[in-house]
């Protein structure tokens, strides 16, 4: 029972972060239609920037104030330049998706290489909160709780933004039907770029939160991208709440698999992915 609880709660704790990562990708793929394989690399940059700032005395949670806008701007510019050009040149949406995917792979190589050049390949870590708490007999680090709570808060804040603000509504409109939204006065190029930027910002913040709890390395990105893709598919493409819930589900499953054999985690995600796409491609809440 101890083990079960430890897996379950541990899974929820990491799941909060997975939700945030997945929401970012959901915006980029669900709305801006870019399957951003470099998503995890932005996460890695966020993690390392936090590390850098933390080593210089800044509280890791505070670094978010710098990292989020920075990543947002980077993401926005990248979309306005690279992906908008690809989109305008593509003869049909399918061609755009494949070309965007390939361009994202290019970004993956570039960003990871930049990370490696600056920080090398050995993992680094720092400790944030030294305390632990116990739940149901299992012991967890305090910082994991803080990170998960922060992630959930960011997710909730963004959800409200989508629901209540004008730009948020524009995003939702663009997600449903870009051409009609354009006709209704939504500046599509800007809105899609905003989504991409928000996605990058979420990746950066998730990276910061991860650095609080776990060691980080410049090769960490791809693993989180894979997880994000599975969660987005599980939750349903185009559904932010879906990504949210899916993140927790995958967190628990992932923790369970890892506790049995860490070497099979990617395999297990892949199997889940395959089953999902074959049985229920639109996921839990997708359209």
Does residue 139 touch another protein according to CB under 8 A? no
Of the chain, the end-to-end C-alpha distance in Å amounts to 38
User: Given the complex with another protein, which of 141 and 243 has the nearer CB atom?
Assistant: 243
Closest approach of Cβ 128 to another protein, in Å? 31
Does residue 267 touch another protein according to CB under 8 A? yes
Among 202, 201, 173, which residue's Cα sits nearest to residue 187? 173
Site residues for another protein, 53-112, by CB under 8 A, read 82, 85-86, 89, 91, 94-95, 97-99, 101-103, 105-110, 112
User: Given the complex with another protein, which of 69 and 106 has the nearer CB atom?
Assistant: 106
Distance of CA 220 to the CA centre of its chain: 13
Does residue 279 touch another protein according to CB under 8 A? no
Q: Where are the beta strands (DSSP E) in the chain?
A: 132-135, 138-141
Binding segment for another protein among 1-9, 143-151, 205-213, 267-275 (CB under 8 A)?
267-275
State both tokens at 79: 């979309």
Per DSSP, the three-state class of 127 is coil
Compute the distance between CA of residue 31 and CA of residue 92 in angstroms, rounded to an integer. 16
Closest approach of Cβ 110 to another protein, in Å? 4
Closest approach of Cβ 203 to another protein, in Å? 17
Closest approach of Cβ 255 to another protein, in Å? 18
DSSP state of 283: T
Q: ∠ at Cα 63 (62, 64), nearest 5°?
A: 85
Give the one residue of 14, 37, 146, 174 binding another protein; rule: CB under 8 A. 37
Q: DSSP letter string over 128-184?
A: ----EEEETTEEEEHHHHHHHHHHHHHHHHHHHHHHHSHHHHHHHHHHH-HHHHHHT
User: Given the complex with another protein, which of 156 and 267 has the nearer CB atom?
Assistant: 267
Class of residue 209 by CB neighbours under 10 A (exposed 0-12, middle 13-18, buried 19+): buried
User: Given the complex with another protein, which of 151 and 200 has the nearer CB atom?
Assistant: 200
Does residue 226 touch another protein according to CB under 8 A? yes
User: Given the complex with another protein, which of 84 and 141 has the nearer CB atom?
Assistant: 84
Compute the distance between CA of residue 159 and CA of residue 247 in angstroms, rounded to an integer. 15
Residue pointed to by tokens 């395959």: 274
Among 275, 194, 277, 282, which residue's Cα sits nearest to residue 235? 282
User: Given the complex with another protein, which of 177 and 261 has the nearer CB atom?
Assistant: 261
Q: At what angle do helices 2-26 and 221-235 cross, to 10 degrees?
A: 90
Binding segment for another protein among 5-13, 131-139, 170-178, 261-269 (CB under 8 A)?
261-269
Number of residues that bind another protein (CB under 8 A): 39
Q: Under the rule (CB under 8 A), what is the footprint of another protein?
A: 35, 37, 82, 85-86, 89, 91, 94-95, 97-99, 101-103, 105-110, 112-114, 116-117, 226, 229, 261, 263-264, 266-267, 270, 273-274, 277-278, 281
């Amino acid at each position: 029972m101890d083990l079960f609880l430890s897996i379950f709660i541990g899974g929820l704790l990491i799941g909060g972060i997975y939700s945030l990562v997945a929401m970012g990708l959901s915006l980029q793929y669900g709305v801006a239609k870019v399957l951003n394989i470099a998503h995890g690399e932005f996460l890695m940059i966020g993690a390392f920037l936090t590390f850098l700032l933390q080593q210089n005395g800044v509280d890791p949670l505070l670094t978010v104030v710098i990292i989020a806008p920075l990543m947002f701007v980077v993401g926005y510019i990248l979309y306005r330049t690279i992906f908008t050009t690809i989109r305008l040149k593509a003869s049909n949406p399918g061609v755009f998706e494949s070309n965007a995917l390939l361009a994202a792979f290019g970004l993956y190589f570039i960003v990871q290489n930049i990370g490696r050049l600056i920080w090398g390949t050995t993992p680094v870590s720092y400790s944030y909160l030294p305390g632990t708490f116990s739940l149901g007999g299992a012991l967890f680090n305090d910082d994991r709780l803080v990170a998960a709570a922060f992630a959930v808060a960011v997710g909730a804040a963004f959800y409200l933004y989508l629901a209540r603000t004008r730009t948020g509504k524009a995003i939702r409109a663009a997600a449903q039907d870009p051409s009609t939204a354009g006709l209704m006065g939504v500046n599509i190029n800007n809105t899609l770029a905003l989504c991409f930027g928000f996605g990058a910002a979420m990746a950066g913040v998730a990276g910061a939160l991860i650095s609080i709890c776990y060691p980080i390395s410049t090769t960490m990105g791809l693993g989180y991208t894979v997880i994000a893709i599975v969660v987005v598919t599980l939750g349903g493409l185009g559904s932010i709440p879906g990504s949210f819930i899916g993140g927790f589900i995958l967190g628990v499953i992932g923790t369970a698999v890892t506790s049995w054999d860490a070497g099979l985690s990617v395999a297990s995600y892949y199997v889940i992915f395959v089953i999902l796409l074959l049985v229920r491609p639109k996921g839990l809440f997708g359209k």
